[in-house]
């Protein structure tokens, strides 16, 4: 089986201390301000078989492949160079397939009068990197109003998708973590989100305002509806915080977006984050982007980050448990402490953590329970079993 047909084996967490040289290469590859000389020096001492494993684990294969032409042929063995090229080629082909399907789905939704916004995925890749194939992603994420979810589900089922959340659950007004759709003939996932499913936002998403502020991103000759850049920055910061920033690719997205998009309205960013109660999540993402990947930030933004000791502390925690630093993944209690800290308000943080702990998703549903009181009681025990054994989000 070729490299393009399967993923490389990820490193064991107990082995990550020996990946420090390779981690330094990845940080340089994902840097928002590349240093070619430093990259050549670091790449010449790295173990490229380990480097490919880490790059795939952290979803930065595209970043590494983009820097490969800077190296002399004798720096990377022919088989390792071929492996990287094949991994990136497979990523490009997946991206092309997902973009084609995205256009198809947007057309189907438009035909039924269903408005949607594309988030992350190829749109973020264009905004942050100017290249839809740089980012690695395995699903298509769209914002769809809750009132349109049933019709959107019917449209996707008619198009050959299987809904993880059945129409009966939608009619019963059960709210999942996301409305997930799969196809048996591909690995493509489609996720529909809205202000009710995105429970990791401290406050309810002002979805009508997001639709009102939407922009159009040009993608392979098509105009795709997307979040305004300011809203997109807040969205990916909350997403990264939700997953404790455990992949370098998420930090790279923030760094690339704020560096490439020179016209960001930072007052609008601050207002959007404040409206959602996500100021600390945004600040943590910006701290990581600046400290780890040398993102270019305006001086006033940097000064605000320097005064935010809570964000600095959270960013330090992330750096400790990022793969490649030799640290174990965060424990259940460390996750809980991080969630308290990322809310940014010591009075509101416990309520936020309690809501996350007791708001059931489809994983907590049990047939016949009605509207979910027992689902909510079951959720903390499921989370304890899941994260107590070190699983990722």
- pLDDT tens string 351-369: 877 777 666 666 655 554 4
Quote the pLDDT of residue 341. 87
Residue reference for tokens 């039924």? 112
Decide if pLDDT at 377 tops 50. Answer: no
* pTM metric for this prediction: 0.87
Structure confidence by residue, pLDDT tens digits, 81-117: 999 999 999 999 999 999 999 999 999 999 999 999 9
Q: CA nearest 283: which of 227, 342, 201, 242?
A: 342
Quote the pLDDT of residue 189. 94
H-only helix segments in the chain: 20-30, 36-45, 48-57, 61-67, 78-111, 121-129, 149-158, 167-171, 207-212, 229-242, 248-260, 266-276, 279-293, 299-307, 309-321, 332-343, 349-358, 373-388
DSSP 3-state assignment of 217?
Answer: strand
Give residue 289's pLDDT band: very low, low, confident or very high (50, 70, 90): very high
User: In this predicted model, which residue has the larger pLDDT, 11 or 61?
Assistant: 61
Give the pLDDT mean for 55-70. 95
Decide if pLDDT at 391 tops 50. Answer: no
Structure confidence by residue, pLDDT tens digits, 124-149: 999 999 999 999 888 999 999 999 99
Quote the pLDDT of residue 8. 58
DSSP code of residue 310: H
Structure confidence by residue, pLDDT tens digits, 157-196: 999 999 999 999 999 998 898 999 999 888 889 999 999 9
Give the pLDDT mean for 39-48. 95
| Residue 351: count of CB within 10 angstroms of its CB | 12
Quote the pLDDT of residue 178. 92
Q: How far is CA 351 from CA 87, 345, 348, in A?
A: 44, 10, 5
| Partner residues linked to 180 by β-bridges | 191
Residue reference for tokens 């490389």? 8
How much of the chain, in percent, has pLDDT values that exceed 90? 71
Q: How far is CA 123 from CA 140, 170, 219, 227, in A?
A: 10, 28, 7, 9
């Amino acid at each position: 089986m070729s490299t393009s047909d399967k993923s490389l084996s990820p490193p064991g967490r107990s082995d990550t201390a020996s990946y420090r040289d390779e981690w330094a290469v990845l940080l340089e590859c994902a840097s928002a301000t590349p240093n070619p000389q430093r990259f050549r020096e670091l790449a010449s001492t790295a173990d490229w078989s380990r480097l490919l494993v880490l790059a795939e684990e952290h979803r930065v294969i595209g970043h590494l492949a983009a820097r490969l032409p800077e190296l002399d042929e004798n720096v990377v063995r022919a088989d390792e160079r071929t492996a990287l090229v094949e991994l990136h080629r497979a990523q490009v082909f997946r991206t092309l397939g997902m973009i084609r399907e995205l256009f198809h789905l947007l057309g189907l939704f438009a035909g039924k009068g269903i408005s949607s916004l594309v988030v992350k995925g190829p749109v973020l890749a264009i905004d942050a990197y100017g290249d839809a194939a740089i980012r690695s992603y395995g699903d298509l994420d769209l914002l769809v109003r809750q009132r349109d979810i049933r019709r959107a589900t019917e449209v996707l089922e008619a198009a050959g998708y299987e809904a993880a959340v059945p129409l009966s659950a939608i009619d019963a007004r059960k709210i999942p973590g996301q409305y997930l759709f799969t196809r048996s003939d591909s690995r493509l996932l489609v996720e529909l989100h809205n202000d009710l499913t995105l429970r990791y936002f401290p406050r309810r998403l002002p979805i009508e305002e997001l639709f009102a502020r939407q922009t159009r991103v040009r993608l392979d000759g098509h105009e795709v509806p997307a979040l305004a850049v300011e809203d997109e920055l807040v969205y990916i910061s909350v997403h990264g915080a939700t997953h404790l920033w455990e992949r370098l690719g998420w930090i790279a997205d923030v760094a690339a977006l704020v560096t490439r998009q020179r016209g960001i309205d930072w007052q609008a960013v601050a207002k959007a984050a404040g409206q959602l109660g996500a100021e600390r999540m945004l600040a943590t993402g910006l701290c990581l982007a600046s400290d780890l990947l040398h993102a270019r930030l305006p001086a006033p933004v940097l000064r605000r980050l320097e005064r935010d000791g809570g964000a600095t502390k959270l960013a330090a925690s992330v750096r400790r448990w990022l793969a490649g630093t030799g640290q174990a993944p965060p424990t259940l209690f460390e996750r809980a402490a991080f969630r308290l800290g990322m809310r940014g308000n010591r009075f509101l943080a416990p309520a936020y953590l309690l809501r996350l702990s007791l708001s059931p998703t489809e994983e907590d549903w049990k047939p016949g329970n009605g509207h979910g009181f027992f689902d909510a009681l079951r959720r903390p025990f499921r989370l304890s079993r899941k994260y107590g054994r070190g699983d990722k989000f």
